[in-house]
Amino acid sequence: MGCPHLCSFCNQNIISGSSLAPTIPQVKTILDESLNTLGERARNAQIAFFGGSFTAIPRDYMIELLSAAQPYIGDDGFGGIRISTRPDCIDEEILTLLKNSNVTAIEIGIQSMDDDVLLLNDRGHTGSDVVNAAHLISSFGLELGAQMMIGLYADNEHTIRHTASEIVRLGFDTVRIYPVAVLKGTKLAMLYNNGQFIPPTIEAAVDICADLIVYFTNKNIDIIRVGLHASDVVEKDFIAGIYHPAFRELCESKIYYRIIDSEINSKAGNYTVQANSREISKVIGQNKSNVRNFSAQGINLKIKSNDSLGKYQVVILKEV
């Protein structure tokens, strides 16, 4: 709702899982139910208006939604509101309104910082719109979030890495990384069916997203999401590209594979790998993929938990 463009990859009714904008009573019902479920934990949670471009929907409706949320914010309620929107739908006037309505975080759909990629995917904005929006949002003291895509039409490794470095340079606090999914009824679907667009393979997407996770983690950017949310509707309309319900875990397993591989350095033998118990499943890999891949090289791994270790830290001991 409210989108001035139709981006090449987007069928927003499919992505949001609903073709209906919520009514105010529906919003209140959702918030009542969520508050009941979360109790005191709600203080550390936010109300999110996502899907579509929140600041571009009809102003009266936007204000009604924000007003409906107000009684649910505060000591006995939620910690604030987060919204998602487009970079060219942000200005000082709207930011003043949002800040006065307890909005604490704004995520902008960047997708790419390459103007050719943006143009060819019908985004209707440029990289300089992102730069302006990021500066404005930061100047209002709001948490700044980026949503980027991997593997759009005309995208490549260079444009993806450029987008990531711009996200760091512009001081984003959070990022969501979405590998491209080709959905029925979109421009990408048409290009794909004509043979003009080939989305990345899941292996290539995992490789580049593993790099991005390490990069953003080292730059202290909170990675909120990697991969599309699981949804029956996306599954129904998915034609090609990347849609895996545990995509982030695949990427993190790849990171552990690389860490272990660089320490063992292809020397066959029996090893014990220690990692934090919360990370063990990623160290092992889905369907034991890491363990099996090493085993195929004559490297046998025993995985043990060691909770003194942090994320992406391992201790490797060779059995003699």
Residues in contact with ligand SF4 by CB under 6 A are 3, 5-7, 10, 12, 52-53, 86, 109
Closer to ligand SF4 at the Cβ: 191 or 284?
Answer: 191
CB-based burial, 256-271: b 16+ in 10 Å, e otherwise: bbebbeeebeeeeeeb
**In angstroms, what is the minimal distance from the CB of 109 to ligand SF4?**
5
Residue 51 beta carbon to ligand SF4: minimum distance, rounded to whole angstroms? 7
Residue 5 vs 219, nearer CB to ligand SF4: 5
Closer of 77 and 109 to ligand SF4 (Cβ): 109
Hey, what amino acid is at 84? S
The CB-based long-range contact list for 66-72 (8 Å cut-off, 24+ gap) reads: 66/97, 66/98, 66/101, 66/102, 66/103, 67/101, 68/24, 68/27, 68/28, 68/31, 69/27, 69/31, 69/101, 69/102, 70/101, 70/102, 72/31, 72/35, 72/47
Which is nearer to ligand SF4, 85 or 104 (by Cβ)?
Answer: 85
Closest separation in Å from C-beta 87 to ligand SF4 = 10
CA distance 202 to 191: 19
**Shortest Cβ 111–ligand SF4 spacing (Å):** 8
Q: Kindly tell me which of 109 and 179 has the beta carbon lying closer to ligand SF4.
A: 109
CB of 54 to ligand SF4, least distance (A): 10
